[in-house]
Structure 1
Amino acid sequence: NIKLAIETISPIILRYPNNIRARETLAEVFYKEEKFENSIAEYRYILEQNSKYLPAYIQLGWVYYRQGKFQMATAWTKRGLKLGSSSPQLNSLATMNLGLYAWLNDDYAAAKKWYRKALEGGSEIILNAILKDLNDTSLLFPDQIEAAFFSGWVYVEADQKNMAIPHLNQFLSLAAESDLSNEARGMLGQKILPIDKNSTDSKDTSSSSRKIPKNMILVPSGFFIMGSNDHGEDESPEHKTYLDSYYIDRYEVSANDFASFLNDVDNVQGYYLDNKFGTLFFNGKFQPRKGFANHPINNV
Structure 2
Amino acid sequence: MRRALLAVLPLVLLALAFLVMRHELHQLRGADVARGLASIPRERIALAVVCAACNYLALTLYDALALRHLGRKLPYRQVGFTSFVGYAFGHNIGMSFLTGGGVRYRLYSARGLTALDVAQVGTFNALTFWAGLLAVAGVALVVDAGQGAMSSLSLEPGMARGLGVGLLGVLLGYLVLCAKVRRTLKVPRLHLEVSLPTLRQALEQVGVSCLDWSLAAMVLWVLLPAGSGISPPSMVALFAVAQLVGIASQVPGGLGVFDSIILAALTPGVSASMVLGTLVVYRIVYYLLPFAVAAVLLLGHELAQHRGQAAELRARLGRRRQEG
TM range (shorter): under 0.3
More helix, by proportion: 2
Q: Which structure would you say has the larger RCO, counting Cα contacts within 8 Å and 6 or more residues apart?
A: 2
Structure with higher Rg: it is 1
Instruction: Normalising by structure 2, report the TM-score.
Output: 0.24
TM-score (normalizing by structure 1): 0.25
